[in-house]
């Protein structure tokens, strides 16, 4: 029995027995709400965006369970699926998880972007920087706000604390909606001298 569990695991979607190296079975993998995006470049100053999924079940359920149900094992599941879709060699110098303000971090106990980025960083050998970017403004949750006020809510909410001059950076998050949070973080990184900032996230919503 011990040897069996060393060789096999269960599909995160349907519970079918699968290889230990996999996180979902072949059928469930094909049915996931993939975005269809598979590449990006560092060709211009405009931020590149790569997201693996549309924000739909089961991905949307997994993200909610990770953030609010403390189902931390799902960070590995989603990170491994994200990596399987990456499909390119990044030229980035390091990966920065989207930071939470200290008050929200204390409430939640962890940063879901960090949990996801840790797995991605380890598997593609891209250094993880958790202290480069901090959130200085305790904003209202973006998901609770209308799109028209999200940019104002997140304005000047980030500070760069280490040298990013001439660096190619990946900014990693779980979900992108309007992009207001990412734009605010990118503005801070660009102001600090970053050469290029690209955005990676697990999923993007339709609004």
Instruction: Classify residue 199 by burial, with Cβ atoms within 10 Å: 0-12, 13-18, 19+.
Output: buried
Choice between 113 and 207, residue whose per-residue pLDDT is larger: 113
Query: Cα separations (Å) of 14 from 21, 31, 163?
Result: 16, 11, 45
pLDDT confidence band for 51 (50 / 70 / 90): very high
Q: What is the pLDDT of residue 116?
A: 98
Judged against a pLDDT cut of 60, whether residue 200 lies above it is answered with yes
**Measured distance CA(187)–CA(159) in Å, rounded:** 10
Q: What is the pLDDT of residue 91?
A: 85
CA dihedral 65, 74, 38, 122 (to 10 degrees): 140
Judged against a pLDDT cut of 80, whether residue 111 lies above it is answered with yes
| Average pLDDT estimate for 22-50 | 76
Q: What is the pLDDT of residue 40?
A: 45
Choice between 148 and 69, residue whose per-residue pLDDT is larger: 69
pLDDT confidence band for 78 (50 / 70 / 90): very high
Judged against a pLDDT cut of 70, whether residue 126 lies above it is answered with yes
Other Cβ atoms closer than 10 A to 26: 11
**Measured distance CA(199)–CA(149) in Å, rounded:** 22
Instruction: Classify residue 115 by burial, with Cβ atoms within 10 Å: 0-12, 13-18, 19+.
Output: buried
Q: What is the pLDDT of residue 44?
A: 44
All domains of the chain, ordered by start, with CATH? Answer: 1-31 (no CATH), 33-204 (3.40.50)
| Average pLDDT estimate for 111-135 | 96
Judged against a pLDDT cut of 50, whether residue 42 lies above it is answered with no
Q: What is the pLDDT of residue 69?
A: 93
Q: What is the pLDDT of residue 138?
A: 73
Judged against a pLDDT cut of 50, whether residue 2 lies above it is answered with no
Tokens representing 78 are: 């989603």
| Average pLDDT estimate for 45-62 | 88
pLDDT digits (tens, 9 = 90+) for 145-189: 565 555 566 778 899 999 999 999 999 999 998 888 999 999 999
Phi-psi region of 79 (alpha: psi -120 to 50; beta: other; left: phi over 0): alpha
Tokens representing 5 are: 């569990």
CB 158 within 8 A of CB 133: yes
């Amino acid at each position: 029995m011990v040897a069996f569990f060393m060789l096999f695991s269960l599909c995160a979607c349907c519970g079918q027995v699968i290889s230990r190296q996999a996180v979902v079975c072949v059928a469930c993998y094909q049915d996931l709400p993939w975005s269809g995006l598979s590449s990006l470049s560092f060709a211009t100053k405009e931020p590149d965006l790569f997201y693996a999924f549309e924000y739909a079940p089961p991905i949307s359920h997994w993200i909610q369970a990770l953030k609010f149900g403390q189902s931390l094992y799902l960070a590995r599941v989603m990170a491994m699926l994200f990596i399987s879709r990456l499909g390119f060699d990044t030229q980035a110098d390091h990966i920065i998880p989207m930071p939470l303000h200290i008050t929200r971090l204390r409430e939640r106990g962890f940063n879901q972007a960090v949990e996801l980025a840790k797995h991605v960083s380890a598997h593609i050998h891209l250094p993880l920087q958790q202290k480069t970017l901090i959130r200085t403004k305790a904003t209202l949750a973006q998901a609770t706000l209308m799109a028209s006020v999200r940019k104002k809510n997140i304005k000047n909410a980030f500070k760069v604390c280490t040298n990013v001059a001439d660096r190619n950076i990946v900014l990693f998050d779980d979900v992108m909606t309007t992009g207001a949070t990412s734009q605010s973080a990118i503005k801070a990184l660009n102001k600090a001298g970053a050469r290029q900032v690209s955005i990676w996230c697990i999923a993007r919503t339709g609004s």
